[in-house]
Structure 1
Amino acid sequence: MKQLQKIFLQGLVTFLPIALTIYIIYAGVSIVDSILGDALRQVMPVYIPGLGFLLTIVLIFFLGFLLNNLLAAGLFHKLEQKMTQVPLFKAVYSPLRDLMNMFSKSGGPGGAMQTVVLVDIAESGIRAMGLVTRESFSDIPAIQAQANDHVSVYIPMSYGLGGFTLLVPRNRITPIDIPIERAMSLAITGWVKADKHEGDK
């Protein structure tokens, strides 16, 4: 009986990550496909599944290409300023834009989330792993005046998508050579990792 239970658990541990990964990718592709797919179904006599996804990807690349043009980028910036004057639009758009910028190497004035660090917690000797999200607060004068050589560090929570952000003195952080993706993986799983993956970079 114990041998059957062990075999079942081994199969379950192997099956679940694969199944969930396939499901999440499928759900993501389906959502992206529906962005333009629903409109295409109204005008096309025969809709080819996946065409909405393909056109959305092309549209994203086209938008990125336009934004690399100084004139188009300037026009988009002016349009963005006008649109963010609308209260409801600003409440939704601005946080989403800032979140995307946080993970982008071309982020805003505060810089991008690029450095994994260990944060000294008071004098206890306890350390927490975090991600530096800002080294400059020049676009937030009220914070800049009080920053005093602090940086903002995001501390992700285990087994969830949440976390909290701290303003930490530079002398209390120690950069460590770990890719952001691996740091997030360790944090989300509570540093629980199978032995065979311990050497992964």
Structure 2
Amino acid sequence: MTEQEREQIRLELMESGQISSEADAAKVEQTVEMAEKGIRVIKTTMRVLAALPILLAGIVFFCVGFGMTASELSRSGGYEETIGKLTGFDTSSLGGYVPLYTYEAGGQVYQTDGSEVKKEKEEFPDTAAIKYDPADPSRAFVKNGSWFRFTLCGLGVIALGLVILFWDRVSHFLHIDDKVELNIH
């Protein structure tokens, strides 16, 4: 609250007879300052309580995605890539479908399952990139990059949590007025 607004409130209270002296005005001023501090503390606490679960969820998404992406990349070191053709489906215990892809390596045909589960068979592509071990072509996996999407999603959720946590600074930077007015009448 600006000094001018405080003075206006003091004058209104004196004119209405609610306060009669400068001492009373000082008490009102102290009360207003305490109320403003209390409001700031409450708003900060609410932002922290809102941001923490969002930040934790973002961190979990990021860590799982990053770990699985790193695992997929390290696992595929020295692997060769070929194109696999969708030939069937297995059912998942989650109630969806897991695609089965066949691929050719070293003149032989092999089969591997996809790492994604989807509700509808039509959601899977007819072909997919398959990474296989040239020393043992039966060791293979479908290269789909879905874990990298988890990493990006985690970063987005973390960013949202940080915006909520630091809203007072963000709103000041963006010139958004987040002022609470005290009406004393």
Q: Considering the TM-score relative to the shorter chain, is it more than 0.5?
A: no
Question: With CA pairs under 8 Å and 6+ residues apart, which has the higher RCO, 1 or 2?
Answer: 2
Structure number with larger C-alpha Rg: 2
In the superposition, the TM-score normalised over structure 2's length comes to 0.19
